[in-house]
Structure 1
Amino acid sequence: MKQGSAARPAPELPSCHNVVVSTDVSGRVKRESRDEVRRLLLGAAIRAVARDGMRTLTTKAVAAEAGVTHRLLLSYFPSRDDLLVAALQHALDRSIGVLARLTDTDALEDLLDGLTRQIDHDPDLQTFQYELILESRRRPELGPAVRLLYSTLLDSTRAALERVGVIPDDDLTLLVYAAVDGLALQHLVRGDASATNASLVRLRAMLSKER
């Protein structure tokens, strides 16, 4: 469900403990924590996959998108698959945060309010996940990460339904998640907020009968 142009690669200097020391294009030295650099690389991977698709993705392309050297990227993610699995986990963490905000209510009429705005705000996140899900059909080694994505979002859906007074069984949880996931995909492709929001209103009306 739902939640830039490449900079010129920066020259790399030796790293020290949990700090990466590098220079920007003007030659000034800057220090970034390893976690910050990791998030930068994962964000670049998500943008690159969302824009160009999975099949053309390379670690060099992600390094260019992030504005770092290829050598620096490989020090974090030695292979393309390592990068993809980590990017999917990063996307999952972001999606859980988005879903939590969209379902942080005990009023059924407010459930998922703002879904279309969130997709419009960050379409790359949703696109990346769909790309990885489809790729896992061709590459079984991505399957465990995708199954984790689904199971985690299903758990979040169940908790959201319980907060608004719906006691969901497994079938209802899957039905609601699949409906919202499908609406998110439709909005991503068609961009018709009025149609998507009207469908969400109908979904809430159906759920009101389950309380």
Structure 2
Amino acid sequence: MTDPVDPTGEHRPRKRVTNYGTGRVALLDAAVRVVARGGLRKLTYRAVAQEAGVTHGLVVHHFGSRDALIEEAVTHAIRSSLNSSALDIGTGRAADFATGLPDMVESGPELQAFQYELLLEARRRPELLPHLRSLYEEYFEASRRELSRLLPEPVGRGMSRLIFAALEGLVLHQLVFGEREVTEEALTELRALLEGLAEDPSGS
């Protein structure tokens, strides 16, 4: 088939159909920005549609319910953060641990703010907690895997959660206060501690 012809006799190119996956991701990104700015209570179909520059009906078509939109946005935010954090890069070198953390905060502050908003909201809405916990387990497991490559002894839940809590605290502080250089300094100290544990697990 040829392109349609307008009344002037010139060919008009056909409108391309938006890729379903790309359109969905764009809507999830918009949902993340809405929540990051105004909290979960501001998340509505209309707010997401306005943020994304699409119709209200398109958001309904993609997600069907507000709860589905929330769940998919949580999954999208956490997996996007994991992909950009360099937490699980697998080199086995303390010097490479969490190398992408400061860049992750600078390049995607909305993703980080969104997750903190959801964590707080889960205290008020317990129905969010199971889904949020299952996805946070991906963070915990990525941290444990990387530590297991660095340290000669088995890494228990307490150690992996301690290191992850330190990283999450650094993300929160950089998000709120800026001060990337403080994050870098703290990571340097953390890597030195891990290097010491790798060389002498007993800490003696």
> Which bin holds the TM-score, normalised by the shorter protein?
0.7 to 0.9
Q: Does 1:203 align with 2:198?
A: no
Structure 1: distance between partners of 2:78 and 2:99? 20
Partner of 2:61: 75
Listed one character per residue, the Cα deviations across residues 167-207 of structure 1 (whole Å, up to 9, x for unaligned) are 41111001000110011101100101121111112212222
Structure 2: distance between partners of 1:115 and 1:88? 19
Structure 2: distance between partners of 1:91 and 1:194? 25
Q: CA RMSD in A?
A: 1.7
CA shift for structure 1 position 76? 1.4
More strand by share: 1
Listed one character per residue, the Cα deviations across residues 83-141 of structure 1 (whole Å, up to 9, x for unaligned) are 11110011122122123x34423210121123112211111111111111111111111
Partner of 2:8: none
Structure 1 gaps, min length 5: 1-27
SS in 2 for 1:29: coil
Q: Does 1:151 align with 2:115?
A: no
Structure 1: distance between partners of 2:151 and 2:42? 45
1:187 to 174, 179, 195: 174
Aligned length: 184
The amino acid that maps onto 1:161 is L
Structure 2 counterparts to residues 53-64 of structure 1, below 5 A:
53-64=39-50
TM-score by length of 1: 0.81
Greater RCO structure (CA 8 Å; 6+ sep):
1
Partner of 2:6: none
TM-score by length of 2: 0.84
Structure 2 counterparts to residues 129-140 of structure 1, below 5 A:
129-140=115-126
**Following superposition, which runs of at least 4 residues in structure 1 exceed 4 angstroms of deviation?**
none
Structure 2: distance between partners of 1:126 and 1:154? 16
Structure 1: distance between partners of 2:103 and 2:72? 26
SS in 1 for 2:17: strand
Partner of 1:11: none
Structure 1: distance between partners of 2:130 and 2:81? 17
The amino acid that maps onto 1:163 is R
SS in 2 for 1:36: helix
